[in-house]
Amino acid sequence: MKIGIIGGAGYTGGELLRILLHHPNAEIAFVHSNSQAGKPVWATHTDLVGDTDLTFTDQSDSGEAEVLFLCSGHGESEKFLNENPLSEGQKLIDLSTDFRDESEGFVYGLPELQRETIRTAQRIANPGCFATSIELALLPLAGAGLLKNSVHVSAITGSTGAGQALAATNHFSWRSNNVSIYKAFTHQHLAEIGMSLRKNQPDFTHRVHFIPYRGAFTRGILANVYTDFAGSLADAKELYFKYYESHPFTHLSEAPVDVKQVVGTNKCLLHLEIHDGQLLVSSVIDNLTKGASGQAVQNMNLIFGLEETVGLQLRAIGF
């Protein structure tokens, strides 16, 4: 499969390159970047020294690619498509927020929610990172019609979740030894979370109360999600195990989970507890893999009829 990457100089573009350079069915036709055009890819993504001789280009060359990955900032994907119409049969996977409402023929690309629909899609809107971790914590409940009340979420993400653009809150001296909340109850991922839950439980109308935190680390998300649950812990575990038993990247853990278990992988790990009629679901993912580029490759695999795990058997850092 010939692949084009638009916006390849950022975090998600770099992560996509790391995966696709070792994907047995992928050939990268070009990597686009307005800011780095003419420079070797390894000069920006320095960990790729010796892995590739690709050079950034400021020409989209989109006709060369069977599948395009859009890794530019939010709002840029819509602009790109207006200026660069796709050729017939060309696939598109967008990692921005632009089409997550499934407008313009896009399909929301969460395989654990609608894998069969993704297989026949031409255009995929890749889910957001916080949205992925929270949705995976709640989809089994929604699928059983058990979201009977409001949902409460407290989640923390690493600095790469904010992108590469310079900002005071991304500066090392501010982030280090620090933690803060932002966009409490108003985060942009709430819209897609609500949409996804209603796909599994159409009558879900309750609020999702979401408080995001900035963490003093680079990669990973830990989301603690809780809501009313009338059953036992054994009931909850059976529900979650059955929902995810055919999905290769989402796993139920008997022990409490932590971010280091998933950093560098395309996995989501879930841990369940019951407290006074509340089901607490702890969910951990890497925001750059399962929360972005890894999930994008998972969607590509599905579109092209491959096993969704191809090229994604990645290992965690451990220590």
Domain with residue 55: its CATH number is: 3.40.50.720
Q: What is the mean pLDDT of residues 19-39?
A: 95
At a CB cut-off of 8 Å and minimum separation 6, what does 159 contact?
170, 175, 214, 215, 217, 218
What pLDDT shows up at residue 95?
96
Higher pLDDT, 76 or 287: 287
What pLDDT shows up at residue 87?
81
User: 52 in helix, strand or coil?
Assistant: coil
Contact between residue 301 and residue 308 where contact means Cβ atoms under 8 Å apart: yes
CATH of the domain at 271: 3.30.360.10
Q: Burial level of 155, CB count in 10 A (0-12/13-18/19+)?
A: buried
Q: Is residue 313 part of a domain?
A: no
Helices (H), the chain: 11-20, 41-44, 76-83, 111-119, 129-143, 172-175, 190-200, 233-244, 294-303
The tens digit of pLDDT for each residue in 215-256 reads: 999 999 999 999 999 999 999 999 999 999 999 999 999 999
Is there a single domain that holds both residue 22 and residue 111?
Answer: yes
Burial 98-114 (b: 16+ CB within 10 A, else e): bbbeeeeebbbbbbbbb
Contact between residue 213 and residue 152 where contact means Cβ atoms under 8 Å apart: no
| Ramachandran assignment for 175, one of left (phi > 0), alpha (psi -120 to 50 degrees), beta (any other) | alpha
- Measure the CA–CA gap between 13 and 290, rounded to whole angstroms: 14
Domain, as residue range, for 66: 2-127+290-303
Contact between residue 294 and residue 220 where contact means Cβ atoms under 8 Å apart: no
Q: Is residue 146 part of a domain?
A: yes
Tracing tokens 């010796």 back to the chain, one arrives at 50
Q: Is residue 62 part of a domain?
A: yes
What pLDDT shows up at residue 160?
86
pLDDT band at residue 319, thresholds of 50, 70 and 90? confident
Residue 248 dihedral angles phi and psi, to the nearest 5° = -75, -15
Is there a single domain that holds both residue 20 and residue 141?
Answer: no
Structurally, the chain folds into a number of domains equal to 2
User: 197 in helix, strand or coil?
Assistant: helix
Is there a single domain that holds both residue 74 and residue 51?
Answer: yes
The tens digit of pLDDT for each residue in 80-92 reads: 888 888 888 899 9
Give the CA radius of gyration of the chain: 19
The tens digit of pLDDT for each residue in 276-302 reads: 999 999 999 999 999 999 999 999 999
pLDDT band at residue 310, thresholds of 50, 70 and 90? very high
Higher pLDDT, 319 or 199: 199
**DSSP letter (8 states) at residue 220:** -
Is there a single domain that holds both residue 146 and residue 110?
Answer: no
- Measure the CA–CA gap between 79 and 251, rounded to whole angstroms: 37
The tens digit of pLDDT for each residue in 141-165 reads: 999 999 999 999 999 999 988 776 7
The residue annotated as part of the active site, out of 28, 129, 139, 297, is 129
Question: What sign has the CA pseudo-torsion 272, 298, 143, 134?
Answer: positive
129 in active site? yes
The model carries a pTM of 0.95
Q: What is the mean pLDDT of residues 98-107?
A: 95
Is there a single domain that holds both residue 138 and residue 280?
Answer: yes
Count CA atoms within 13 Å of residue 198 on its CB side.
14
At a CB cut-off of 8 Å and minimum separation 6, what does 202 contact?
none
Tracing tokens 């069977």 back to the chain, one arrives at 66
Contact between residue 99 and residue 192 where contact means Cβ atoms under 8 Å apart: no
Helices (H), 39-125: 41-44, 76-83, 111-119
Q: Is residue 319 part of a domain?
A: no
